[in-house]
Amino acid sequence: MAYFRNNSTNQVLGGKIYVVRKSSILIKVNGLGPGGRPLIIKPNPGHIVSIKQKSIPNQAEQTLIITGNEIGSAVLYGYVDLGSNSALPGCPPAQHKFTGCISPLFVEVVPSMELPDPNTEAGIIARMLIAENITPDDPFERYKEEDSLKSMQWMLIALENRMTFSHPHLLQVPSSAASLSSIIRSGGVVQGFKSYPNIGSTQQATIDKVEKRANLGTDGKFLQYRKYMQNAISVAKKEKTGVDPCPTKIYAWVTAGSPFPSANFVKFITFAGQDFYTLRQEFIDDPLQRKKK
């Protein structure tokens, strides 16, 4: 029996694959049809995806180039070409016959994903959230979609709390700050964004990886990366707002295990790969330390 396989890993594909509209992916077909004939792969309906087949001479292997034409679903079936030499009575030349010797493969064509315009506040926040949070490929396997979303929401809340603090300039909020992007660009709160729209190489590499994997249907974590990226966009656009879990408010975060932001902060909780901080009550009550004077 023939099989659809992943082009990179050669693993047998499950019942469904994804293709981003206006892009192409490669998969393999290993095996031949009845009588040792190569399989012809056809989509149904035919307008959702287009197929190009490349066979390897003297081997029962083909490469399929699948291009997503329109958003929607199609099914790939395998056929053999009976042709004019068919032994079946009345079979016209070059007729295709469905064989059933390869399991049908469902293909879903989905929209491409793009980050918001980098010159908008949603654009800089989304990129910051992607760069700061652990991704679905976290080496310590801490990634959970629900926790990741909550972490993104808490980061946005922390920036908003800095803006509304009684003395924001003490929390590295520029005196002229009129938006959260001003804090992100300040250089003291988020690494790699001081020269935005030029982003630090480490942070940019993470952003590029997430965008690429969220648009590569053959990636094993394709759906996870799409959700990760979509959550960052939704939080940045304030479509998914969260709730501050800290009674004294969250004001900062660092990668779990990193040094304290400053002596005025105290750790509230370690969550989703981040240490989230509030402020010492003494500092909240007396930011300018008038009582000490």
For the stretch 212-245, pLDDT in tens is 999 999 899 999 999 999 999 999 999 999 999 9
Nearest partner of 43 among 18, 73, 87, 22, judged by Cα: 73
Q: Exposed/middle/buried for 36, CB within 10 Å: 0-12, 13-18, 19+?
A: exposed
In a domain, 39, yes or no: yes
| DSSP label of 21 | B
In a domain, 143, yes or no: yes
Q: Are residues 177 and 264 in the same domain?
A: yes
Q: Are residues 164 and 30 in the same domain?
A: no
In a domain, 115, yes or no: no
Distances 69 to 32, 115, 116, 277 between C-alpha atoms, Å: 28, 22, 24, 48
Question: Last residue of a domain, which of 81, 110, 139?
Answer: 110
What average pLDDT does the segment 78-97 reach? 54
| Residue 56 confidence (pLDDT) | 74
Question: Last residue of a domain, which of 110, 145, 163?
Answer: 110
In a domain, 290, yes or no: no
% of the chain at pLDDT higher than 70: 91
Q: Are residues 58 and 153 in the same domain?
A: no
pLDDT at 3 over 80: yes
Residues 6 or more apart whose Cβ sits within 8 Å of residue 114:
211
What average pLDDT does the segment 274-279 reach? 98
pLDDT at 260 over 90: no
The overall average pLDDT reported for the chain is 90
Contact 29, 102 (CB under 8 A): yes
| Residue 86 confidence (pLDDT) | 45
More confident residue, 279 or 293: 279
In a domain, 265, yes or no: yes
Contact 27, 4 (CB under 8 A): yes
**Could you tell me the residue range of the domain that residue 157 belongs to?**
121-285
| Residue 96 confidence (pLDDT) | 52
CATH number, domain containing residue 97: 2.60.40.10
Q: 84: pLDDT confidence band, cut at 50, 70 and 90?
A: very low
